[in-house]
A = this chain, B = another copy of it.
Amino acid sequence: SLQEVCKSRAVAMPTVSRVAVCGGTHGNELAGIYLVREMLKKRADGTEPVSVVTVMSNSRAAQLCVRYVETDLNRCFTRAASSGAAGSDTSPYEMIRSQELNALLGPKASAQAVDLLCDLHNTTANTGLCLITYSDHDWICLHICKHLQAPMHKPMEIGPQPHGVVRSAIFSAMQEGVQLMMDWICQFNSGRFSATNPCRNLFAVCFHGLRNIDYPRDSETHVITAAVHPDLQDRDFCLLHPGDPMFLCFSGETLRYRGKEALYPFFINEGAYYEKGVALSLARKRRVQIPSVRSETLR
């Protein structure tokens, strides 16, 4: 039967039996923080189909409602840092915390590590609900991405969320996204798939980040001299053509995109990236084929 053919073609993948959901990796990104707090209220009773570890990643920064206390925790998870070699009494709080998290959820790339880690972030950019993965062969992540898109046909115009603010619609979208992820994992583990996840091959639209563009700055003071142009602001993942307006100087001058290739901007005007020298990132759009997957171990 067709079903048999599909089954035989599906890529066998290990069961996703341990999942981590982390919030507050940046302590002023409030939707993830309140979602994790809400999840922590619900005690596991052992009947859950999947074991979920819920973690407040940087509770000290969350307490103070700042991105980080000493250094950006999300830049501490390199192997070198996690190995413990860099740890000492004088290490920044976040460096020590990254090692604690690695011990709790990892060690990274080891057999004991959780099978899937979902780290919840917010941005002041108008990205909608956006999944970031570091490989276009991460079939599980890409399947989850497709599963999240299914009930959300319209672009999620939920607007940007300021840091230090929680907007109810963004909290709800994030909550729904985590629930849909868990639903997909349960279906995958059980070997059953719904009609929304047919056995034929799927395609996912991905954006492959190429480079960052900084704000125009004063050559002496390094103070920014322009803001993202109003025509570009909030148009994350919309094609930017050579010659399109990119910045509007505070003096009134328009600066245009000088690249030779039309590309897709994202993380446009993210508040936390001013200090990192990033006004926006540019990506190439790709259509990635995702094979059907089946769990190796049926329950």
| Residues of B contacting A167 in the complex (Cβ-Cβ under 8 angstroms) | 227-228, 233, 269
Does A213 lie at the interface of the complex (its beta carbon under 8 Å from any beta carbon of B)?
Answer: no
Q: Which residue of B lies closest to A223 (CB)?
A: B37
Contact between B124 and A168, CB atoms less than 8 A apart: no
Kindly state the separation between the CA atoms of A233 and B170 in the bound complex, as whole angstroms. Answer: 11
Contacting pair B165 A124 (CB below 8 A): yes
**Complex formed: what's the CA distance from A167 to B269 in Å?**
8
Other-chain residue from B165, B248, B250 in contact with A38 (beta carbon distance below 8 A): B250
**Contact between B168 and A37 (Cβ–Cβ < 8 Å)?**
no
| Min CB–CB distance A30 → chain B (angstroms) | 9
* SS of A interface (majority): loop
Known: A38-B251, A171-B250, A250-B38. A271 touches B165 (CB 8 A): yes
A233 and B169 within 8 A (CB): yes
Q: Which of A137-191 contact B (CB under 8 A)?
A: 159-169, 171-172
A166 surroundings in chain B (CB, below 8 A): 224, 227
A229 proximal to B (CB < 8 A) = yes
